[in-house]
Amino acid sequence: MAIKRRPSFNSHNPVSDEVIGTYPIMSKNEVDDVVAHARLAFAQWNGLGFGERKRVLLAWSSLIINRIEQIAQLISRETGKPLSDARLEVSIAVNQISWAARHAESILRTSFRRPGLLMANMSATVERSPMGVIGVIGPWNYPLYTPVGSISYALAAGNTVVFKPSEYTPGVGVWLEDTFNEVAPFADIFTTITGLAQTGTSLCLSGINKLSFTGSTRTAKLVAAQCAEVMVPVVLECGGKDPVIVASDADIRRAVDATMWSAMANAGQSCIGAERVYIDESVADEFISRAVELAGEIHAGAPGDANYGPATMPSQLKVIQSHIKAAIADGGTSVFGGPQSVKAPFVQPVILIDVPEDSIAMQSETFGPVIIINRVATMSEAIRLSNASAYGLGANVWSKRKGKKIASQLHCGMVAINSTFAFAAIPSVPFGGVKDSGSGRVHGPEGLLEYTFARTVVRSRFYLPLHFLSFKRRPQDDRLVIKLTRILKGRLG
C-alpha cells in the first residue's frame, strides 16, 4: 500500500531561489486540533495573572535580543533584506513585546465609573477580559515585527495565540514559537501553524475568538467575509498608498533623505512606505533634483551588497512594472529609472513626476521602490489629494510651522511630522488605518484593549426608596425620574 505523504511547501531565498526549508501544509483537522489545545491552555495562562505573564514575556524578549544574529540571518534569508534592516526589525519588535508585558496590568485593570444620580446606589465597574484564543495571520514583508505587534499584546492580555505566518516566511514563524516555548511555563500558549491560504481559512473557521490579520486589502476582504460567517471579530491591518506632504518651509534636505528611505528601504515593501509626494511647487525642483541625486547613490542587490534587497514575492514584479508603465502612459515623466529598472528579482530605484491622479500608479499600492512626486499650488490641495485615496494608513508631513495643522486634516491612522515611520517604533501609540487600509489597532493601550472584551459589572450598594426597575413603580417615581432627567441632562454621570 502506498504511503500518503503529508502535503508540504518550500520556502525559498528570493535572491538565489535556493530552498531554505520545507513545512507542512496543515489541514483543517490539524488546525482545529491546535486551536482546541490553545483553548485548553487559555484558562491556565489567564489564571497566571499579569505578573507571571509579564515575567514570561520579558524572558522571551531577552531571549530574542540575545539571539538577534540568528533570527536576523533567517529573516534576511527568507525575505532577501539586508542584515542591518533585519536587525532593526528585531530590535523594534522586542521593544513592542517588552512594552506590552510591562503595561498590560495598568491598562487592563478594572475601571470604576460614575453611576449618575439616578443610579447613585450602584457601583459601576468595567472589567477587561481576555477573549480566549486569538488567531494571527501575518505577511512576509516584516515577518517578525508585524505579527509580534499582535501576538505579544494578545498574550499579555491573557489570551493564547495561534499564528499562521506567510508562506514566504514560515521559518520566522516557527522560530518565534520555538523560542517562546523555551521560556513558556507549559505548552500551547503560543503555537505557529504553517500552510498556504487554505490553512489561513481554516484558522478563521476554527473557533478562534478573534482574528488579527495583516496583509493585502484583497485578502483582508476574503478573511473578513470568512470570519463574518462565524461571527469572529477581526483586526485588519492592510495596505497603503502613503502620501508625503512637503510645504514650502520644509527642510528639503531632510525631507528628501527620509522620503527616499521610506519609499525604497525594504525594496519599497513597507505598508507605511512613501508612495506619493505632494510638494509645494515653489520647492519642487530642489526636492526632485536632490531625490534624483540620492537615487543615483542607492541600489538593489543581495544582502551585504546593496541598500535594499529583491522583491520577496516574485509576482509583485509585474505589478511594479505595470504601475511604472501606466504612470508614463498616462502622462507622467520618469526622471530616474523606468520600466527597465525591474530586473528580476530586483527593482532599482524609480522616480516619476507629474503623474495624473487617476493613474493606477497613484491609486493602487505599488509595493516597490518607486516614488511619485506631484507639484501642488497650495497645502489645501495637498491635503485634498492625500485624502482622495481608497487607502488611509500613514502619512508624512514636512513643514517647520504648519505640520500639526496639516496632520490634523488627514484621513489616516498615523502621521509623522518632519519624520517617517517613527510611529511604528513607539510602542505606546496605536498603529492601524482607516478605509481600505483596515480597521482596529495594534500597539499601545488600544492594541491591548483590542484583545479583550469589556465586561460591565454594576452592584447595588444599598436600596433606594424608589422603584425604577420594578412593577412597583409609582406615579411619583415617574415624576421624579423626569424631573431629575430634565435638571441633570447627563451631569453627575
Tell me if 214 contacts ligand NAD by CB under 6 A.
yes
What letter does residue 492 receive in the DSSP assignment? T
Residue 262 to residue 115: CA distance in whole angstroms: 49
- Print the binding letters for residues 172-211 with ligand NAD: x by CB under 6 A, - otherwise: ------------------------xx--xx--x-------
Taking CA atoms, 84 is separated from 274, 302, 308, in Å, by: 20, 13, 10
CA 300 to chain centre: 25
Answer yes or no whether residue 215 interacts with ligand NAD by CB under 6 A: yes
How near is the Cβ of 223 to ligand NAD at its closest, in Å? 5
- Residue 239 touches ligand NAD, criterion: CB under 6 A: yes
Tell me the chain's radius of gyration from C-alpha atoms: 26
The active-site residue out of 204, 227, 271, 412 is 271
- The residue from 147, 173, 240, 309 that contacts ligand NAD (CB under 6 A) is 240
Q: Quick one: DSSP state of residue 348?
A: -
Stretch that binds ligand NAD, among 104-112, 124-132, 135-143, 343-351 (CB under 6 A): 135-143
123 vs 433: CA distance, rounded Å: 36
Cis bond leading into 143, ω under 30°?
no
The cell for 170 is 514560515
Rounded least distance, CB 146 to ligand NAD, Å? 5
Range 349-368, binding ligand NAD (CB under 6 A):
365, 367
Query: Residue 128 Cβ, how far from ligand NAD at the closest point, in Å?
Result: 23
> Does position 164 bind ligand NAD by CB under 6 A?
yes
The HSE-up count of residue 464 (CA atoms within 13 Å, CB side) is 15
Q: Decide: is 212 part of the binding site for ligand NAD (CB under 6 A).
A: no
Q: Give the side-chain half-sphere CA count within 13 A for 255.
A: 31
The interface region with ligand NAD, picked from 4-12, 218-226, 297-305, 341-349 by CB under 6 A, is 218-226
Kindly state the helix (H) or strand (E) to which residue 150 belongs, with its residue range. helix 145-156
237 is catalytic: yes
CB of 164 to ligand NAD, least distance (A): 6
Query: Is the Cβ of residue 85 or residue 365 nearer to ligand NAD in the bound state?
Result: 365
Contact 143, 45 (CB under 8 A): no
> Residue 493: which of 139, 119, 157 has the closest Cα?
119
What is the per-residue binding string for ligand NAD in 245-284, x denoting contact by CB under 6 A? --------------------------x-------------
**Closest CA relative to residue 140, chosen from 232, 77, 209, 95:** 77
Find the binding residues for ligand NAD in span 458-477 (CB under 6 A).
Answer: none
The verdict on whether 204 is a catalytic residue reads: no
What are 175's three cell numbers?
Answer: 522560530
Closest to ligand NAD by CB, 176 vs 292, is 176
What is the size of the binding site for ligand NAD (CB under 6 A)?
Answer: 32
Instruction: Identify the active-site residue in 30, 78, 177, 237.
Output: 237
Residue with the shortest CB distance to ligand NAD: 200
Told to check if 219 binds ligand NAD by CB under 6 A, we report yes
Q: Is 238 in the site for ligand NAD (CB under 6 A)?
A: yes
> Any residues with CB less than 8 A from the CB of 57 and at least 6 apart, and which?
97, 98, 100, 101, 152, 155, 156
Neighbours of 449 (CB within 10 A): 17
Nearer to ligand NAD, 34 or 313 (CB): 313
Residue 385 contacts residue 245 (beta carbons within 8 Å): no
Interface residue with ligand NAD among 122, 222, 481, 484 (CB under 6 A) is 222
Asked if 393 interacts with ligand NAD (CB under 6 A), we say yes
Q: Rank residues 188 and 237 by Cβ distance to ligand NAD and give the closer one.
A: 237
Is residue 394 within 8 Å of 412, Cβ to Cβ?
yes
Contact yes or no for 458/115 (Cβ under 8 A) = yes
Angle made by CA atoms 95, 99, 102, in degrees to the nearest 5: 140
Binding string, residues 295-324; x marks residues near ligand NAD by CB under 6 A: ------------------x-----------
Question: Would you count residue 141 as binding ligand NAD (CB under 6 A)?
Answer: yes
- Give the CA distances from residue 57 to residues 99, 389, 491, in Å, rounded to whole numbers and listed in that order: 10, 39, 43
CB count within 10 Å of CB 311 equals: 25
137 near ligand NAD, judged by CB under 6 A: yes
Summarize as ranges the residues that interact with ligand NAD (CB under 6 A).
Answer: 137-142, 146, 164, 166-167, 196-197, 200-201, 204, 214-216, 219, 222-223, 237-240, 271, 313, 365, 367, 393, 433, 438
Where in the sequence numbering do the catalytic residues fall?
Answer: 237, 271
